[in-house]
Amino acid sequence: MPLVKNYYTISSSNITTLTGMFDIRLLKEAEVYKGHFPDEPISPGVCNIQMMRECAEQVVGRKLPISTLSKCRFVKLISPTLYPEIQIVIDIISTTETEVKWAAKICSKDTVLQEMKVTSNRN
């Protein structure tokens, strides 16, 4: 199930052939924060990965199942309280008939919060 509208909203986006920049608003009232954690909400890493994947899918215009996650670095805790508005940057590194290699990062202004490199097999 997509997380857009349940975990985050996209305020604006700028998509070109091989890149995408998304202005994101994390939804503090999202159900996931009731268990992770109610008094000090922290964005679950798996939700952040899915959010970046959904943005990457908008760039390429198709589903991108993750087959290899060659890099996933959590630099800072992401929280809708500390960082209610973030940016997601997607770079398509290469595409073939069978796979798409792409990179993504979550930023707040000039600070990188999370980054990853992914290989997705085409459906």
The fold for domain 8-121 equals: Thiol Ester Dehydrase; Chain A (3.10.129)
Q: Are 86 and 114 in contact (CB under 8 A)?
A: no
Q: Give the pLDDT of residue 43.
A: 94
Q: Residue 27, CB half-sphere, CA atoms under 13 Å: how many?
A: 16
Region of 3 please: left (phi>0), alpha (psi -120 to 50) or beta: alpha
Instruction: Average the pLDDT over 22-48 and give the result.
Output: 92
What pLDDT, on a 0 to 100 scale, did the predictor assign at position 35?
86
**What amino acid is encoded at 86 in this protein?**
I
Whether the pLDDT of residue 1 is over 70: the answer is no
Overall average pLDDT of the 74-94 stretch: 96
User: What mean pLDDT is reported for the chain?
Assistant: 94
Q: What is the pLDDT of residues 46-76, one digit of tens each?
A: 999 999 999 999 999 999 999 999 999 999 9
